[in-house]
């Protein structure tokens, strides 16, 4: 068992972080749709939020389907000075 986050390899840290982000995005998208459905059902006052919540859910769902590129594929940061 790992004692500290820094004991985990960089690749495993990235894998765990991506999985956590994916699960969080899925949870938020699901809750956004459920809230929008409650607004549509009249259980919550509608102030134009249902469409915005569905848009948020769609954006999150798209980000889950089109994940970030593999680790190590980023361009190096520019240096200044």
Query: For the segment 23-37, what is each residue's pLDDT rounded down to a tens digit?
Result: 888 888 888 888 888
Nearest to 35, CA basis, from 25, 26, 44, 24: 44
Are the C-beta atoms of 39 and 81 separated by less than 8 Å?
Answer: no
pLDDT, one tens digit per residue, over 45-73 is 888 788 888 888 888 887 766 655 565 55
Specify the pLDDT at position 62.
Answer: 79
Specify the pLDDT at position 2.
Answer: 55
- Say if residue 41's pLDDT is above 60: yes
Specify the residue for token string 């059902």. 41
Averaged pLDDT, 11-25: 87
- Provide the total of helices (H) and of strands (E) in the chain, helices listed first: 2, 0
Specify the residue for token string 């190096």. 76
Which residues have CB under 8 Å from 3's CB, separation 6+? Answer: none
């Amino acid at each position: 068992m790992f004692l500290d986050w820094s004991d985990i390899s960089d690749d495993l840290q990235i894998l765990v972080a991506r999985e956590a982000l994916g699960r969080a995005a899925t949870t938020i998208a699901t809750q956004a749709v459920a809230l929008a459905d409650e607004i549509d059902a009249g259980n919550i006052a509608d102030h134009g939020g249902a469409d915005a919540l569905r848009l948020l859910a769609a954006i999150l769902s798209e980000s889950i389907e089109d994940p970030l590129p593999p680790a190590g594929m980023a361009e190096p940061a520019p240096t200044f000075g």
